[in-house]
Structure formats: C-alpha cells, structure tokens
Structure 1
Amino acid sequence: MSLIDLTKPRWDQNTYWGRATHFFHLTNPLNVLASDKQLDEAKKIVTEFRKTQKMPSGYDEEKLWAAKYLYDSAFHPDTGEKMILIGRMAAQAPMNTLITGGMITFYRTTAATVFWQWLNQTFNAIVNYTNRGGDTPIPVSQMVASYCCACGGALGTALYLNSKVKNMNPLFARFVPFAAVAGANCLNIPMMRSSEIINGTPVFTLSGERIGESRNAARYGISLVVVSRIFMAIPGMILTPMATNFGLKRGWFRGGRHWLILPFQLASVGFCVTIATPLGCAMFPQQATFPVSRLEPELAKIARSKNVDTVVYNKGL
C-alpha cells in the first residue's frame, strides 16, 4: 500500500479537476447528515492515523479517505473547531436551493424582496464566518456591524434595482436577485472577515513553519473568495430564471399548471447549486500561495531569512 498523507487532499490541488474532485467530496450534501458521534469518530481516526501512520482496525484505504473527508467537511482547517452545521460548505446545496428558489420566485413585492434578501444575507454571514481563514477570533461588535452593513447593502441594491426594472422586460426583474447577491457578496465577505483584513491571516513556509500574520495575503485571498462565490451563484440565479422565462413563453405552466413553477425552479436551482458549489470552490486552491515580495516588509524579511520566496495560507471558502 502506498503512503497515505492525510495532511493533504487526496487529489492533486495544482490542477482544476483535482480541486473539483476534492470539493465534490468535501461539499457532498450527504455529509450534513452525519451525527456528532460519526464526526467525532472521523476526527479520532484521522488524528490517530496522522500521528501513527497505522491503519485503524476495520479500515482500508477507501474507508480511511472517507473518514478524512467527513472530518474535513465539519472541522475548521485552522482552528480545528467543529463548524456550525448550516455554515459548512456541505450545507450549501440544500440551504441555497431553498433560499435561492425563494428569491427568484417571490421577487415582485417589496416585503418578499426584503425577507428573502435578509434571509440570504443572514445565511451568507454564517457561512462567511464559519469558513473564514486563520484562527483569529472576531469580536461580537465587529460581527454585528459587518452583518448590518452586508444586509443593508443587499436590501438597498435589490430595492433600487426593482424600482428600475418595473417597466422593462420581465426577465430583467428575474435577474435582480442575482445582482443583489453579487453586490452583497462584495460587502458581506470582506465585512464578515474584516478581522483578517485588519489583523492578517497566518502565513507559512512550504514546510509548514508559521511566519506571521499577513494583511496583504488576507486581502488577496478574500478577493478570490468573492469571485468564486459570485461564480457559484450564476448557474442557479441566471440559468433558472432564463429556463423559467422560456417555459412561460412555451406555455409549460398554463392550464392550471402555474403551481409547477416553484418545484421547477427549486429542482433547477438544486441541481445547479450542487454542481456549481464544488466547481466554484475549485476555482482557486484553498491552501493558496503568495509571493514573499508582496508580503509586508517585516514578514518578507523573516521569510527571506528562511530562504523562501513563496508562502502558503488558508484563503477560506
């Protein structure tokens, strides 16, 4: 049996499809069904194997990797803490299916817009906090301020755009939720992870030696997360409204079948989110590299003293 290194993903993270395969396993919605007992058992197995390199009784290579991915799906890579259930990336598909389906179905009234955008940004805030990079705690006051700014930005964007598309093609109105989500991501993610921007995120040498906390690396990593999150939202929030509009023009929902719009959109969003979540996460490596030349001067000096020209860090998801 070849040497198994559970400190790294099973698939090559230097290729897109290697990362995509990795995240298909990590974001598998079935992982949210695991009990605390199963998660704690997976943690115990992975931790012991990393220390001893001895195959646990009753395990083979496939079962060991399954435990590794179950463990990774629920425990933060930097802090080691068990993550909030709905904040885990494995919960993205079921949660976003319901929320996105609601946003693109009930978008005509102000009350519905406010409710669904608020619910979406509340969920996003939990996800962004849960999947932050680094191990620095975030003050409660900072989280509240960040949450309020993100919700305000999303609601303001959605209500403003709704007022502008009233007399346009109905298809444009269906795209308003996506525009609001995309704009809010540019606020929500940096705000909920502002402690990294202020205090920096831990950076390490390729051998794993911690150098310090870099604000520059944090800013760059967060910008990559914003891009990937917007990409994740495109299939469900753009393709689904287009398919619904196409169906309406073709008469799919006429003759007492108007009630089919909601299950049609939920099924479409569910499929899109399940595929788009791992593909979006895979756009950039989670353990990102950052050139020493772009570090803060004091950190660059430390890094160069160790004869390294590249550092690595967890950019978050």
Structure 2
Amino acid sequence: MLWCHPRAPLYLSSSLACRTMPAVIFWQWVNQSFNALVNYTNRNAASPTSVRQMALSYFTATTTAVATAVGMNMWTKRAPPLVGRWVPFAAVAAANCVNIPMMRQQELIQGICVKDRNQNELGHSQRAAAVGIAQVVISRITMAAPGMILLPVIMERLERLHLMKKVKVMHAPLQVLLCGCFLLFMVPVACGLFPQECELSVSYLEPELRDTIKAKYGEQVLFVYFNKGL
C-alpha cells in the first residue's frame, strides 16, 4: 500500500512485495519529498525560508517518516496483515507533525503578521503561528485518516472474494477509485475544519505584543486575525 500526497494518499498495491523494507523506505521518501514541496508552497509567504532551512526541514521530515515506517513495519511483522496496512497512516501522521512545522519554521521563529478587523497590521506573533500550524497539521491528518484507515479494511474484505482473487490486475485501479471517493468528501471537510483567516484573542498573544496593542487601541481591539496557510 503506497501513497504520495498529503491531501491525496494514493494506494497502489497491498502485495507483500510492496511492504518489503526497500519499498517502505523508498515510498516514504517519495511521499515526504512531495509533502515538503506542498508544505513550502502553502506556507505563509510573508515568512521567507532559506535554502539551508529548507534542506534541514526536508531531511528531518523524511528521516522521521522513514524511521517511523521502518520501525512499525518491523514491529508488525508477526501481526495480522490488516495491522501492517495501517503502518503507512501512522508514518504519514508522524511525518506531518514534523514536516509542516519544519518547512514553516520561520513563522515559528519570527512570528506571522496579525491584523485587526480592518486589516491594519498590529505586529508579528509566534503564538499565532503555532496555532495556525497546529490547525494545518490536524487538517492534513484528518484528510488522510478515513482513506488510510478504512480503505485497508475494505480491501481486506474485497480481496477474499473469488472475483478479486481471479482478477488481481483490478486491485490497484479499484484502490485508486475508492481513494478518490474518500478524498472527494474529505478534502472539503478537512479544509473546512478551521477557517483560512483565523481569529485569536489578544489575551493569548505574547505579553509584549499584547501590551503594545492595548496601549495603542485600549479595549477596541479584542481579537487579532491572521492567515494560517494551508
């Protein structure tokens, strides 16, 4: 079982050959390489990232994903086949928790721009960046969860059918079709979990920024707004 996109996990095969160690390592690397590109392009563009930071983020994310997948693959060798099919989801979820923050670390270091209701800039907040990135991580994992958890169960049942055993060439197209059906619903659901323009109470901001806002605007500004990225 393989995949290659944080928003569109692609399941190609559930054969034993595709669960060998080299295959697990290779497809985790492919997946997280693509994830790194997607996370970079969907960051808050106001926070630039250097080539060195990108390289470090890429290395950390891919290493985490591969280590998780390899470790769980070894741990589940004697487990039922269905348990082994859930290894990719655990690896993808763990990698997302590292890949997204690392690729957007400049937002965590420098903070992201927060504004008032009238789009007037109030300053930069690291806490707002942390909230936005956490919401993106949750959305990405939620997006992949139904397909990567339920689809293996469905395929486990379907592969027992006589027709499926006879026409094995249909396994991959069927998995792609079912994956597309899951994503048809889960992409809008996951993207709609949190608004693109986030609202955050001024009281949650860093003390320095909070005091600056209160000194300038008093009680007129109780919430700040920022773009969390995708």
TM above 0.5, one fold?
yes
RMSD: 1.7
Alignment of structure 1 residues 18-97 onto 2, 5 Å: 96=8
State the secondary structure of the residue aligned to 1:312.
Answer: strand
Q: Deviations over 1:209-234 (max 9, x none)?
A: 00111001101111111111100001
Q: Deviations over 1:177-209 (max 9, x none)?
A: 001000101100111010000000110001100
- Classify 1:198/1:104 alpha carbon distance in 2 versus 1 (closer, same or farther; 3 Å): farther
After TM superposition, which residue ranges in structure 1, 4 or more long, deviate above 6 angstroms?
none
* Equivalent pair of 1:303/1:309 in contact (CA under 8 Å): no
Corresponding position: 1:302 with 2:215 = no
Tell me the CA shift for residue 133 of structure 1. 2.1
Corresponding position: 1:219 with 2:152 = no
Structure 1 counterpart of 2:179, from 253, 257, 269: 269
Partner Cα separation in structure 2 for residue 263 and residue 113 of structure 1: 20
* Equivalent pair of 1:107/1:177 in contact (CA under 8 Å): no
Corresponding position: 1:108 with 2:19 = yes
- Could you tell me which amino acid in structure 2 is paired with residue 179 of structure 1? A
State the secondary structure of the residue aligned to 2:123.
Answer: strand
Aligned match of 1:196 = 107
Partner Cα separation in structure 2 for residue 217 and residue 187 of structure 1: 18
Unmatched 5+ residue regions in structure 2? Answer: none
* Equivalent pair of 2:6/2:35 in contact (CA under 8 Å): no
Corresponding position: 1:126 with 2:37 = yes
Aligned match of 1:288 = 198
* Equivalent pair of 2:6/2:144 in contact (CA under 8 Å): no
Tell me the CA shift for residue 92 of structure 1. 7.0
After TM superposition, the score normalised by the length of structure 1 is: 0.67
Partner Cα separation in structure 2 for residue 288 and residue 272 of structure 1: 27
Tell me the CA shift for residue 303 of structure 1. 2.1
Structure 2 counterpart of 1:164, from 75, 85, 88: 75
Partner Cα separation in structure 2 for residue 263 and residue 277 of structure 1: 20
- Could you tell me which amino acid in structure 2 is paired with residue 244 of structure 1? M
Structure 2 counterpart of 1:210, from 101, 117, 121: 121
Q: Deviations over 1:137-186 (max 9, x none)?
A: 11110010011000000000000000011111100011000010001011
Alignment of structure 1 residues 177-192 onto 2, 5 Å: 177-192=88-103
- Could you tell me which amino acid in structure 2 is paired with residue 284 of structure 1? F
Return the structure number with greater relative CO, CA threshold 8 A, min gap 6.
Answer: 2
Corresponding position: 1:316 with 2:229 = yes
Tell me the CA shift for residue 249 of structure 1. 2.6
- Classify 1:121/1:103 alpha carbon distance in 2 versus 1 (closer, same or farther; 3 Å): farther
Tell me the CA shift for residue 102 of structure 1. 3.7
Unmatched 5+ residue regions in structure 1? Answer: 1-90
